[in-house]
A and B are shown apart, each in its own frame.
Chain A
Amino acid sequence: MAILRTKTQWLLLVAGLVFLVTLGLYVSGEWMNWLIMVGIYTVAAIGIHIMTGLCGQFSIGHSAFMALGAYTTAILGTRYGLSPWITLPLSGLAAGVGGLIFGVPALRIKGFYLVLTTIAAQFVIMWAIRQPDWTGKTYGLEVPAISIGGSALTEAQYWWLTLGLAAITLFFAKNIQRTATGRKFVAVRDNDLAAEVMGIDLFRTKLLAFFIGCFFAGIAGWLWAHYLLRINPDLFTFKLSLWFLAMIIIGGMGSTSGAVMGAVAIMLVDKAVPALSPVLESVFPSLGFQIPAALSLILFALVVMFFIFLEPKGLYHRLERIKLYYRLNPFAY
């Protein structure tokens, strides 16, 4: 089955792309920063969607793999002077290999214990990055800017770069669901014993899911590094890994568009924090300066809890129900 089946879908896709591209011309300032971060996190969210949503290999270590990608491009760029376009596949590869290493246990331990392994991966990788001098320890590294035609990219141009990479990643993810590999992933997620009995090589399939998922995390890390122009280990926290997992849970596990929706939703919640803080500060003046930090934690927790209680299948499921209602109205089924 094709990804885009009807003329309406093609039209919507083209219109959507045109809209997103022209956003680069009109948006600026903090909203442009927000858009670029949404793009970067979408790439990573699609990575975790392939690993966790499609293949069922739960991972709360995703931001550590992003760190691998980011540090690869930083080190190769500053010490060896490689052009960012060359380090793009390399940082994906580095993160992918890192994912492979921590995915090898995935064959022997399942579900819940795999989650704990990936939590360990998060902390061990970040500790390992902090140790040697050539990673800049806790100070971090500078990252050379991407330049086309001699001058560094502007914000709008960086948005188009991010958009392009996110579109390619999204296309890749949607396409993989149509192939045999994608079906293998889903089979392993649903019941890996039955999948093995049917002849699917569990080892290869799980490792491939880890590799692809972490490859995209590496690409997201590359994007982030070249956007910030300076990276340090404190960017890649355990909380960020939880954000990615929350993105696919909120968006809908197993749905590619859900990953995108989840990324947008979480980033909107993050944007709501500085908007809500002044209101709360005026209500509780004694807790003044602590409110933004506390609010970002509490609001994120409450939003995810809301989705777990009321809409465990995510935003995509809700969208499908709305479309179904529209199609069947006034009938109920």
Chain B
Amino acid sequence: MADVLVQGLLVGGVYALIALGFVLVFKSSQVLNLAYGEMIAVLSYLVYEMLAGWGLPSWAGILLLVPCGAALGYVMERLAIRPLLGQPFLSVLMMTLMLSFLLKGVVVLFWGSKSFTLPFTPHGQWDLGPISVIPGAAVSFLTALVIFMLLTILFRRTRVGLSMRVVAADPGVAQSLGVRVRQIFSLSWAISGAFAAVCGILVGMVFTVTPVMGDIGLGKGLPVLLLGGLNSIPGSAVGGLIIGLAESLGSYYQPGLEEVIPWLLMLVILLARPYGLFGERRIERI
């Protein structure tokens, strides 16, 4: 039982990281990047290709992937999202959904339906006292912790983080204050892309690289995001842990329940408190 709880927490850390990618983009450009899951998938396959196909050593592949992810995010923003500034949100939403299909098509095109495990996946189990832990999940959790701290510092202490928050609050005011709004948008998408690279490595390590891993962005990322609040970093951390726990408890008591628990939790939170546990904005209600 303790195993189940710990496993749930660790996996929840990965989910929190995925939701964090959404939060990054939403916090600065008010766009929900539904293509994030597929970005993770593409970058995961890319790192596999670099490590297994081109024969790079593990550390080189990982280091090289992060700028690739940043480039992917930047290109997506410049080509697909920036032309739609000012359009109704449905256009942007459909655009991100179509981008996710495009990326999924790219994955299917180059790698078909093959599944891989990343070469640096740790094997076996670690035993911490009475609890046995899968090392991949533990490493992901620790990485997630570090990244959360880094991001909180970025948003609270640096000028760039401050600019992002200003742009998210009111782009017009930000521009009149001298903040280059379009640059901030591109920067936030690039950071989110770099993030997707890290997520790609971690998710590929914990869940193996499969053609359907892109669905994890929608299936797990969205519920965590809504549970925690769309523009809240601690929210996605807490939301991720809650959903990870709920999922493993649910699958412990009844297998097959784990796919639907995040969605049910998301429905509950949408009905009770749509802006999430830690979200800032109030939604109008009639």
State the A residues within 8 Å of B (CB).
Answer: 58, 105, 107-113, 115-117, 119-120, 123-124, 127-128, 131, 192-193, 196, 202, 238-239, 242, 245-246, 249, 287, 289-291, 293-298, 300-302, 304-305, 308-309, 312
Picked from A107, A109, A301, the residue with its CB within 8 Å of the CB of B270 is A109
Contact of B274 with A by CB under 8 A: yes
| Given A124-B260, A300-B101, A202 contacting B286 (CB threshold 8 A) | yes
How far apart are the CA atoms of A109 and B274 in the complex, in Å? 7
Cβ–Cβ contact B102 & A298, under 8 A: yes
Cβ–Cβ contact A119 & B218, under 8 A: yes
Contacts of A109 in B (CB 8 A): 270-271, 274, 283, 285
Most buried by A among B87, B102, B218, B266: B102
How far apart are the CA atoms of A123 and B266 in the complex, in Å? 12
Cβ–Cβ contact B283 & A298, under 8 A: no
C-beta contact mask, B117-132 vs A, less than 8 Å → 1, else 0? Answer: 0000000000000000
Contact of B172 with A by CB under 8 A: no
Contact of B64 with A by CB under 8 A: no
Contacts of B263 in A (CB 8 A): 120, 123-124, 127
Which of B53-61, B91-99, B136-144, B184-192 faces chain A?
B91-99
Contacts of A308 in B (CB 8 A): 84, 91, 94-95, 98
| Given A123-B219, A123-B260, A289-B112, A301 contacting B286 (CB threshold 8 A) | no
Cβ–Cβ contact B267 & A112, under 8 A: no
Enumerate the 7 nearest inter-chain pairs by beta-carbon distance, A residue then B residue, closest first. Answer: A297-B105, A294-B109, A298-B105, A301-B101, A301-B102, A294-B108, A301-B98
24 A-B residue pairs with CB within 8 Å: A58-B90, A109-B271, A112-B89, A112-B93, A113-B274, A116-B270, A120-B223, A123-B219, A124-B264, A128-B260, A193-B286, A196-B286, A242-B101, A249-B90, A249-B94, A290-B110, A296-B105, A297-B104, A301-B102, A302-B102, A308-B84, A308-B91, A309-B83, A312-B91
Picked from B106, B109, B285, the residue with its CB within 8 Å of the CB of A108 is B285
| Given A301-B98, A308-B95, A105 contacting B270 (CB threshold 8 A) | yes
Picked from A108, A245, A293, the residue with its CB within 8 Å of the CB of B274 is A108
Contacts of B104 in A (CB 8 A): 297
Contacts of A312 in B (CB 8 A): 87, 91
Picked from A123, A245, A287, A301, the residue with its CB within 8 Å of the CB of B110 is A287
Cβ–Cβ contact B32 & A112, under 8 A: yes
Contacts of B105 in A (CB 8 A): 294-298, 301
Cβ–Cβ contact B271 & A305, under 8 A: no
Picked from A110, A291, A300, the residue with its CB within 8 Å of the CB of B109 is A291
| Given A112-B89, A123-B263, A131-B256, A305 contacting B274 (CB threshold 8 A) | no
Contacts of A112 in B (CB 8 A): 32, 89, 93
Contacts of B218 in A (CB 8 A): 119, 238
Contacts of A108 in B (CB 8 A): 271, 274, 285
How far apart are the CA atoms of A296 and B32 in the complex, in Å? 25
Contact of B179 with A by CB under 8 A: no
A122 to chain B: closest residue by CB: B263
Contact of B226 with A by CB under 8 A: yes
Within 8 A of A (CB), among B190-211: none
Picked from B84, B91, B267, the residue with its CB within 8 Å of the CB of A117 is B267
B284 to chain A: closest residue by CB: A110
Cβ–Cβ contact B222 & A119, under 8 A: yes
Cβ–Cβ contact B283 & A305, under 8 A: no
B90 to chain A: closest residue by CB: A58
Contacts of B267 in A (CB 8 A): 105, 117, 120, 124
How far apart are the CA atoms of A300 and B105 in the complex, in Å? 10
How far apart are the CA atoms of A287 and B108 in the complex, in Å? 10
How far apart are the CA atoms of A116 and B285 in the complex, in Å? 17
Picked from A115, A192, A290, A298, the residue with its CB within 8 Å of the CB of B101 is A298
How far apart are the CA atoms of A108 and B286 in the complex, in Å? 7
A292 to chain B: closest residue by CB: B108
Contacts of B270 in A (CB 8 A): 105, 109, 113, 116-117, 120
A305 to chain B: closest residue by CB: B98
How far apart are the CA atoms of A112 and B90 in the complex, in Å? 8
Contact of B259 with A by CB under 8 A: yes
Contact of B80 with A by CB under 8 A: yes
Distance in Å: Cβ of A170 to nearest Cβ of chain B: 24
Contacts of A117 in B (CB 8 A): 267, 270
How far apart are the CA atoms of A312 and B92 in the complex, in Å? 11
Distance in Å: Cβ of A304 to nearest Cβ of chain B: 5
| Given A110-B283, A290-B108, A297-B105, A304 contacting B32 (CB threshold 8 A) | no
Contacts of A296 in B (CB 8 A): 105
Distance in Å: Cβ of B182 to nearest Cβ of chain A: 18
Contacts of A245 in B (CB 8 A): 94
Contacts of A127 in B (CB 8 A): 259-260, 263
How far apart are the CA atoms of A298 and B256 in the complex, in Å? 32
Distance in Å: Cβ of A211 to nearest Cβ of chain B: 19
Contacts of B90 in A (CB 8 A): 58, 249
A109 to chain B: closest residue by CB: B274
Cβ–Cβ contact A301 & B108, under 8 A: no
How far apart are the CA atoms of A3 and B72 in the complex, in Å? 49
Contacts beyond the supplied A196-B286, A301-B98: 10 A-B pairs with Cβ under 8 Å: A108-B271, A109-B283, A110-B284, A117-B270, A123-B259, A289-B112, A293-B108, A294-B106, A297-B108, A308-B95
How far apart are the CA atoms of A187 and B97 in the complex, in Å? 28
